[in-house]
Structure 1
């Protein structure tokens, strides 16, 4: 075994030594990425650098398109080394990729730039030897981090759980251990992934990667709890976060998960209400779960629901899934909707009229309709429904019915993919 492989160093220093030693022996650029194709460590250049390598070193992370390409080739699922074809449009030369595995866990990807002369059998053997040494180092690091993560996971689970005594104890421990401050501004974000299932563990790894940037920012500290297809992020902000900042954060999470998982799975993000103490994180979490349901059911939210902007949906979505069916629709509204496309014009008119507080001038302006035509449509609506649009209670009945109709037209929530043992981790 090479002398530089035998050296015993700690953590990242040991991995860097292994990567540098292999690169010098091969005379080629070498990089070690995590399973999400994020840079862990890299060697110096050997005159074989391409645009992807240069950009990655400058930015500290590969472009989303590069990450999507590598993951789409299934490299993280390979059980043996192989060649990843280059992409001229990305400015990427071919790479010889060796998956770093230990005891069934995919820990990373060792990549060697494979431009120029093909690798010899001896060079491939050297790569295999270093890959095994890297796997040993990374697995030891994983075991150490798993213990810390499990401790944090238990505390977060109890902090947002239903048992008040456990919440109090977890809150005290988190503050005393310096893991989170007690305030002043607390927000909980819930993330769910549904749809096409990927390889075992892939979604969980992607969730960890997507939330990691938000555990420590310039204005907030956070802790996350991740399971197979959902995650929770508890954040304490120095100042009250603006809606735009939380929306930007949510979009960043969706974008990262789309990059890591591809276009198949459906990603839903729910942002809970803003609280003023860590002890109230459980309230924000309950609200975040409702916001996730909104993100799943309301296409106009584009996958991100914010409790404080849900309006009446914040109440309606607290109904159990089994209760969200056609029986909730008021009979007068069902008569209006019964004709399908034939009454879509009247449905649009009714929506606009109710959303504009029954103002005929504003409704006519929005619909670009002459008032005489608008009055005619409103009379038709009254005749079909049997309700009087001048009566407030009748307007409320129809308005609430239309909101329920919006929920019913959206896809139903998927059945829970978690086992009973996993559900205990998430309140």
Structure 2
């Protein structure tokens, strides 16, 4: 297979002009030495590997992504941009990138043979990369599944270039709203802008699609700081905000612990759906006491919830009382704040709390009773969400 960089250098020498090849999104693939024709945007893209957004917007406005022939783009002095000629690179009709020449277009009979070879090389690279991605994705799925030997799968992953056995791993789960049929079409998160920014030597990522969640297995060398992953997840959450998803992130662990880390990530994401006080992104290591409550609810026999003596509080006929005491507890027993949050008079609040005491025998103003009520309400909410079945379904779908 021809080397793209060699072809770019050969074309540049033939033309005695600088040549650059970009991806369809403006990420630099290869560039030749300069021949004195470079401009500020060309220098910047060589240094940063990406087009500036305003430069990209201008260039793409000329329809180069749909073009089949070369396109001459006028200069834009306010961007420091000289005129340039764009040659779309297509392989079996797929747009794989562009050749860029500054100033006028070159003779087609000179550029076209190189363009065809570069397109062929990029096509083969993309096909090979897709095959590698598919292979790693399948191994990632096996790593998360109980149907395969984790040691064998981890060895296969490292042999295929994914991290190493002693790499630190965090699993990220992007979960759609609970009990919704699969309606959220997740983009390919691994190739998103935030994910590409996080990736660098020593870091790897596999994406596995579950029944109603997308999972990222993020690995880094043990000595590599975990910087950037929180920023990556926050940006993904912002991009996916309108779809109503919640994102959970596991604690760091070893590659062989990925199944347990998947459970943590899924529960953290589910907790974001269940508890309004949590945000769109939740880390398992930072969501105490909710992570304890999630594990407690899953460990409790469903028949033991709600606790004896409190069942009446969870009767639909007493929904107003349940809402009232939960708001009161969530506001730390502050009656004024609780009444304001519920849009009721304080005397109404006092009356409802007295009714709660009659139903349960627990005084909401008493510290021990508050603890019992708080735990019971949270556990019942988790149990009522059906999260145990959802978790089992996701783990079975791996």
Band the TM-score falls in, shorter-chain normalisation: 0.5 to 0.7
Aligned to 2:206: 224
Per the alignment, do residues 186 and 86 of structure 1 end up closer, same or farther by CA in structure 2, a change over 3 Å counting?
A: same
**Once the 2 structures are TM-superposed, how far is the Cα of residue 161 of structure 1 from its aligned partner?**
1.9
Partner of 2:6: 14
2:190 and 2:58 mapped to 1: Cα distance?
15
| Residue 32 (structure 1) shift | 0.9
> Given that residues 83 and 96 in structure 1 are in contact (C-alpha distance below 8 angstroms), is that contact kept between their aligned partners in structure 2?
yes
Judge conservation of contact 1:247–1:304 (CA < 8 Å) in 2.
no
1:35 to 6, 24, 32: 24
Unaligned runs of 5+ in 2: 177-181, 299-313
**C-alpha spacing 1:141/1:396, structure 2 compared with 1 (3 Å):** closer
| Change over 3 Å in CA distance of 1:106–1:283 after alignment to 2 | farther
Classify the secondary structure of the residue corresponding to 1:224: strand
The Cα of 1:289 is off from its aligned counterpart by 3.7
Alpha-carbon deviations, 1:142-186, whole Å to 9, x = none? 334344334333322211223143x33212333466643222632
Larger radius of gyration: 2
Q: 171, 177, 202: which one pairs with 2:154?
A: 171
Measured after TM superposition, the shift of residue 394 of structure 1 is 4.0
Distance 1:92 1:377 in 2: 69
Deviations 1:290-312 (A, max 9, x none): 44556788898775332333456
Show the counterpart of 2:265: 288
C-alpha contact (below 8 Å) 1:207/1:226 kept by paired residues? no
Counterpart of 1:378?
349
* Aligned twin of 1:335: 320
The question of whether the paired residues in 1 share the 8 Å contact of 2:8 and 2:19 is answered with no
Could you tell me which residue of structure 2 aligns to residue 140 of structure 1?
A: 124
| Cα shift readout 1:22-49 (whole Å, capped 9, x = no counterpart) | 753xx4x532112332111123445554
How far apart in 2 are the matches of 1:79 and 1:293? 47
Show the 5 A alignment for 1:156-305. 156-165=140-149, 167-175=150-158, 179-183=162-166, 185-190=168-173, 203-204=187-188, 207=191, 210-217=194-201, 220-225=202-207, 230=214, 232-238=216-222, 246-251=229-234, 269-275=247-253, 277-292=254-269, 304-305=281-282
Residue of structure 1 equivalent to 2:309: none
Cα 1:254–1:57 change in 2 (3 A) is: farther
Counterparts of 1:128 and 1:96, CA distance in 2? 13
Give me the TM-score of the superposition, normalised by structure 1. Answer: 0.61
TM-score (norm. length: structure 2): 0.65
CA RMSD of aligned residues (A): 5.2
1:281/1:69 Cα in 2 relative to 1: closer, same or farther (>3 Å)?
farther
Q: Is the 8 A contact 1:156 1:223 kept in 2?
A: no
Q: Which runs of 5+ in 1 are unaligned?
A: 1-8, 320-328, 338-345, 408-412, 414-422
Return the alpha-carbon distance in structure 1 between the equivalents of residues 326 and 351 of structure 2: 10
- The SS at the match of 1:173 is helix
Q: Distance in 2 between matches of 1:96 and 1:350?
A: 66
Contact residue 198 and residue 229 of structure 2 kept, 8 A: no
